[in-house]
Amino acid sequence: MCGLTGWFGRPGNEDDDQALAHAMVAAIVHRGPDGNGIHVDEGDGRRPAVGLGHARLAIVGLGDGAQPLSNAEGTLTVVFNGEIFNYVELRAELMARGRRFLTTTDTEVLLALYELEGDDFLDKLNGDFAFALHDARRGRLLLARDRMGVRPLYYTEHAGRLWFASEVKALAAVPGLRLELDPIALDQIFTLWAPIAPRTAFAGIRQLQPGELAIADADGWRQRLWWTLDFPDRDDARPERPRAEDAAELRALLEDATRLRMRADVPVGTYLSGGLDSSITSALAARMTPLGLNSFSVTFDDAEHDESAFQNEMAQALGTNHAAIRCREADIAAAFPAVIASTECPILRTAPAPLHRLSSLVRARGMKVVLTGEGADEVFAGYDLFSEAAVRRFVGRAPGSKARPLLFRRLYPWQNQLNRQSPAQLAAVFGGGDAADPLFSHRPRFKSTAQAKLFFGPALKDRLAGYDATEELLAALPARFHRWHPLNQAQYLETRFLLAGYILSSQGDRVAMAHGVEGRFPFLDHRVVAFASRLPPAAKLCGLKEKHILRRAMGDLLPADIANRRKQPYRAPDARSFTAALAADGPIGAALSEPALAATGLFEPRLVRRLVDKTAAHPDASFRDNAAFVGILSTQLWVDRFRSSTVA
Amino acid sequence: MSDAIKSTVSTFLIDNFRFGDTSVAIADDESLIETGFIDSTGVLELVAFLEDTFAITVADTDIVPENLDSLAAIARYVEHKGGKAA
């Protein structure tokens, strides 16, 4: 787990390039504080020049894992970020075929596999990774990213070179490259919560998509998806199989996915939120850690967000060495500028901030690898959004029914105000919508979120006139999407766009790696994902019971109240976290001040002032007011951090 | 009376849900749900405003789109309940 940087293309001055390679690595040293290295080759007139840089977080092969790593002949050189969890098996397989290894690392396994199998070797990897591999024999560079998009990889073309890096801040070191906000990306964030890859918040800077391979050589630049999330056709239902058999297979898969992710030459801990998913992950990990598992949690002061009772119950049941860090509203405000420097993207929720704080606790305890429950809600349909879409379809099939809309109250029992609303009102506000719309499941969220665009300033509104982010999302859907069951369609949207674009990025890799902590996700093992995709939808969402098959497969490992717990979305206090900070001098007040708003020109200062006043007066702000507040604040902080003062 | 109610409610909706942005006017018969003014929580903010402003009591069974989903519907409903302008 590390950070990588580099370029490919036009030759330069070797001394300048050496200095540049070091400068790029220095910008992402937080990702790999345990060592660094560079490789610069100016080419020979026929072969393009290449630069590779690496900041290392030592987890596997502590003594022999320095990068960039080359093969014995020096013809292949790689910089690698992440892990190949099945490298032990792959190494044994290659040794049986006569291959010899000089190190104990997964990086060398990657080089050997490429050498023997060519571009198709990616299919054999079980891991979370991004890498840049230079093949001097063929004069080409390969960039690749893991299936689910756990590890980031950004790139841009500038001055005759392709530049790439784990984080955009390394690209800021490239001479003459100016970082600007992409207004289309901002529209996408203020509608969909994240830019649609390959777009990023930065104009002209792209990201490799999850499961993408890109090859650059003298002929140019080619990309293809080497893996895609897929589901069976709706009419092509799998033959019925006893649920118990599915549960047993899932259990075996999750045990193996966890076993592979416990591999490291340093101790591995877990995040424990108190919910079903991280409790399962921790329970499996605890069984594989005879000397005692370290588990970590965030606690909140208010009952609405705090889950410490469940965290403590689970930690006690497993006998883990448990540590928790308290996250007050003031902590969120204090960390927020640093969080945005890490996410490199405006965000609509503060939820990454407590995780930024949590990774600092992990690091302070001398650990750098944690397993988490991330991905289970996407893969096994845990989010409210999935059940809400199912109820909306159910209501839509019998318009006028007085009974069916009452299910909305069952979905959100903590929303007391729903009890006052008539069935007709519930049906109207949750919205039936067009059942044939590919975005049916997500339309209410997009519509509600997009209200935040109200605050866009006149120049930005003019620039975006006629643009509709949901149209671009529709165009990005694969043709086969239309043949899937509605639940699988909703899962695809959530997994392909929000998981990769926000959860694993702003709320995952970025805030963990800010403190040199690597997250590993057993639920996102590609074998688990493929298994879940083939399940009948009712095995995942059974009535309104989410993650049905997962509870059945793993419930016996957990105390009954946790095994049967309803999904509590992970959230943190949003706008109200900043009320005190706004009243004091500091970066939050400065970012939302009238001069700062006027300087960026992105938002209408008069409206923002009223929003700030409203959220200060009403701490229980609505979803959309919170999203608007956090979106505006994070955008302003983003502009300040990345020195981009104009719209591209 | 009806126009006064519509004007008062329109001002509230723009102040509360559009932060004073008057660039988009609300047509009398426009659906407040479809245009995004009102969501599942917003409707009760509207009800509280109507009760305070027009001295009426809105029964739970009256919280239906026919009464609350447009300026014209709200004005009709408030008048029917004998609402008095503040």
- Per-residue model confidence (pLDDT) at position A46: 80
Lowest mean pLDDT among A191-195, A607-611, A617-621: A617-621
Nearest alpha carbon to residue A258 among A37, A553, A44: A553
pLDDT in tens, A496-550: 999 999 999 999 999 999 999 999 999 999 999 999 999 999 999 988 889 999 9
Inter-chain CB proximity B21 and A622 less than 8 Å: no
Q: Say if CB A645 and CB A599 are below 8 A apart.
A: yes
| pLDDT at residue A47 greater than cutoff 90 | no
Q: Say if CB A454 and CB B13 are below 8 A apart.
A: no
Strands A294-300, A206-207: pairing is unpaired
Inter-chain CB proximity A611 and B19 less than 8 Å: yes
Residue B57 buriedness (CB in 10 A; 0-12 / 13-18 / 19+): exposed
Arithmetic mean of pLDDT, A124-141: 96
- Per-residue model confidence (pLDDT) at position B19: 86
- Per-residue model confidence (pLDDT) at position B35: 86
Q: Look at A84 and A568; give whichever has higher pLDDT.
A: A84
Name the helix (H) or strand (E) containing A285.
helix A276-287
Arithmetic mean of pLDDT, A127-147: 96
| pLDDT at residue A468 greater than cutoff 60 | yes
Q: CA of B45, closest CA in chain A: separation in Å?
A: 10
Query: In angstroms, rounded to a whole number, what is the distance separating the alpha carbons of residues A142 and A320?
Result: 42
| pLDDT at residue B6 greater than cutoff 70 | yes
Could you tell me how far CA A71 lies from the centroid of its own chain? 32
- Per-residue model confidence (pLDDT) at position B41: 78
Interface test with B, best of A402, A414, A429, A607 (most B CBs within 10 A): A429
Give Dmax (Cα) for chain A.
77
Query: In angstroms, rounded to a whole number, what is the distance separating the alpha carbons of residues B6 and A580?
Result: 37
Lowest mean pLDDT among A48-57, A374-383, A617-626: A617-626
Q: What's the CA angle centered on A164, arms A262 and A514, to 5 degrees?
A: 45
- Per-residue model confidence (pLDDT) at position B69: 92
- Per-residue model confidence (pLDDT) at position B60: 87
- Per-residue model confidence (pLDDT) at position A454: 95
- Per-residue model confidence (pLDDT) at position A236: 78
Angle between helices A526-534 and A243-261 (to 10 degrees): 170
Q: Give the CA dihedral A323, A328, A329, A333, nearest 10 degrees.
A: -70
- Per-residue model confidence (pLDDT) at position A646: 39
- Per-residue model confidence (pLDDT) at position A283: 98
Q: Which residues of B touch A (CB under 8 A)?
A: 15-16, 18-21, 33, 36, 38-44, 47, 60-66, 68-69
| pLDDT at residue A648 greater than cutoff 60 | no
Which are the catalytic amino acids of A?
2
3-state SS, residue A390: helix
Residue-wise DSSP of A557-590: GS-HHHHTPPP-------GGGGHHHHHSSSHHHH
What the block records as the tokens of A106 is 């997964």
- Per-residue model confidence (pLDDT) at position A144: 98
Q: Say if CB A79 and CB A131 are below 8 A apart.
A: yes
* Nearby residues of B73 by Cβ (< 8 Å), 6 or more positions away: B65, B66, B67
Find, in chain B, the residue whose alpha carbon is nearest to that of A424.
Answer: B64
Q: Which of B21, B33, B44 is closest, CB to CB, to A454? A: B21
Inter-chain CB proximity B64 and A422 less than 8 Å: yes
In chain B, what residues touch A408 (CB-CB under 8 Å)?
40
In chain B, what residues touch A604 (CB-CB under 8 Å)?
21
- Per-residue model confidence (pLDDT) at position A57: 83
Q: Does A607 touch chain B (CB under 8 A)?
A: yes
Give percent of chain B above pLDDT 90.
Answer: 43
Query: In angstroms, rounded to a whole number, what is the distance separating the alpha carbons of residues A600 and A416?
Result: 40
Residue-wise DSSP of A88-139: HHHHHHHHHTT---SSS-HHHHHHHHHHHHGGGGGGG--EEEEEEEEETTTT
Q: What's the CA angle centered on A256, arms A236 and A500, to 5 degrees?
A: 65
pLDDT in tens, A191-221: 999 999 999 999 999 999 999 999 999 888 9
Query: In angstroms, rounded to a whole number, what is the distance separating the alpha carbons of residues A56 and A66?
Result: 7
Q: Does A605 touch chain B (CB under 8 A)?
A: no
Inter-chain CB proximity A428 and B61 less than 8 Å: no
Predicted TM-score of the model (pTM): 0.94
- Per-residue model confidence (pLDDT) at position A332: 97
Strands A2-9, A220-225: pairing is unpaired
Tell me the one-letter amino acid at A571: R
pLDDT in tens, A76-113: 999 999 999 999 999 999 999 999 999 999 999 999 99
- Per-residue model confidence (pLDDT) at position A5: 98
Residue A76 DSSP code: E
User: Given its phi and psi angles, is residue A466 left (phi above 0), alpha (psi -120 to 50 degrees) or beta?
Assistant: left
Nearest alpha carbon to residue A167 among A496, A643, A505: A505
Q: CA of B13, closest CA in chain A: separation in Å?
A: 14
Arithmetic mean of pLDDT, B30-51: 87
Residue-wise DSSP of A437-477: -TTGGGHHHHHHHHGGGGGB-HHHHHHTTT--HHHHHHHTS
- Per-residue model confidence (pLDDT) at position A647: 40
Q: Does A433 touch chain B (CB under 8 A)?
A: no
Q: Does A613 touch chain B (CB under 8 A)?
A: no
Could you tell me how far CA A551 lies from the centroid of its own chain? 24
Q: Does A593 touch chain B (CB under 8 A)?
A: no
Q: CA of B2, closest CA in chain A: separation in Å?
A: 23
pLDDT in tens, A469-509: 999 999 999 999 999 999 999 999 999 999 999 999 999 99
Arithmetic mean of pLDDT, A44-64: 86
